[in-house]
Amino acid sequence: MEQAFLALLTIVIGVGGCVGYFWLSNIVLDKAIFPVGGPNANRNITRANAVRPWLFLLPAVLALGLYLAYPVFATAWLSLNRNEAGELVFVGFDNYRQMLGEDKFWESLRNNAIWLIVVPAMATAFGLLAAQLTDRIRWGNIAKSMIFMPMAISFVGASVIWKLIYDTREAGQTQIGILNAIWLKFDGGAGSFLLLRVLPALILLAGAAAILWVVWGQVRALSDGGTMAKALRVLGIVVGAWLAYVAVSWGFGAATAQLPYGQPQFWLQIPFWNNFFLMAVLIWLQTGFAMVILSAALRGVPEDTIEAAIIDGANPFQIFFKIKVPQIMGTIVVVWTTITITVLKVFDIVRAMSGGQQETQVLANYMYDKLFVAVDWGVGSASAMVILLLVTPILVWNVYNARKEMR
């Protein structure tokens, strides 16, 4: 009861304080600083209207400075110091050198890079596919609700759900984990060959073909635009070619792998691949977000362009890829970069499901381990600055594209 009363009191004081501040600031501005009467009334009204928005923004600016700007500078300072016997000692960039010399840091950086490649691409692609398909079926709103529902679950809650899916019992015991229950149905026969070898290989090869198609489009457009655009296209071509090579090599590996049929698998303890099992959780959570944003963008595509394409004989795939997708590319980029920022800060899923063990460490969890497990403020703050350094360019790019989309 006491907690409920304190919460209610906080709400009343907070809302009342905001209303009181705005009311009092208007009184002071219009009565004391820039009076609306007298010979200078017009000039005072103009000045008051110019100052009023900044006066209203002042509490938010102060709060952002206190809770965002100050922690950034404090963390940067901590990253240049070391805690020795309860006192901060300035050590310069020693913390960064120590961090760069640790294998766990490079493991977390590598894993974050894999997350950055896989999660935004898969979540955006599934969201775009769901947005397109649900708009064409009668029960599309129900399907959208089901796909969006995971967004209401916290990262920790989703991790608990998926940890049960990946649960493993000893051989001979009843498997309560859905994935192992399905896995044990395969015996190496024709069904196993088709579903676990041929199908994954075909999916990976199709992904490689799609990547190469995008790369070819960038190669053909290489001469367009300015120097920056050309440099970005060259970078995209290189990255795309590498991703296509990786997809082809994985496809070959899936087709030729020797699989341990009949044995329950500890999915979260399989090095390298356990990262993808963790990524599935975030893809599941973010697909609904991507679907909602991209569905609104698709509905904004002018009908006359689609009708003109139909009259010209375009098929549904051509309409989607050559008419709709180019017109919503700005929204796709915003969704992609928003999910990318979320991926760079991913912590809850890894902490709840693997604790960063078995080669699943990521930067945010590495920072947590340094700050609160090893109590190494210097290296922990240095890793926090690395995360900030990686997030900032993407955040700036996201804001730029959002403003461009609004214009």
Ordered by start, the domain boundaries in the chain are: 2-60, 79-184+263-407, 188-261
Structure confidence at residue 32 as a pLDDT band (50, 70, 90): confident
pLDDT on residue 107: 94
pLDDT on residue 402: 67
pLDDT on residue 189: 85
The pTM for the full model equals 0.81
Residues of the chain with pLDDT > 90, as a percent, come to 27
pLDDT at 374 exceeding the cut of 90: no
Most confident by average pLDDT, 53-62, 85-94, 197-206:
197-206
Average pLDDT over residues 6-10: 85
pLDDT on residue 224: 74
Residues of the chain with pLDDT > 70, as a percent, come to 97
Which one is predicted more confidently, 172 or 379? 379
pLDDT at 242 exceeding the cut of 70: yes
pLDDT on residue 349: 94
Q: Which of 102-106, 220-224, 264-268 has the lowest mean pLDDT?
A: 220-224
Tell the burial category of 247 from Cβ atoms under 10 Å away from its Cβ (0-12, 13-18, 19+): buried
Average pLDDT over residues 61-74: 86
**CATH code linked to domain 79-184+263-407:** 1.10.3720.10
Most confident by average pLDDT, 30-39, 93-102, 222-231, 319-328:
93-102
Mean pLDDT across the chain: 86
pLDDT on residue 320: 86
pLDDT at 405 exceeding the cut of 70: no
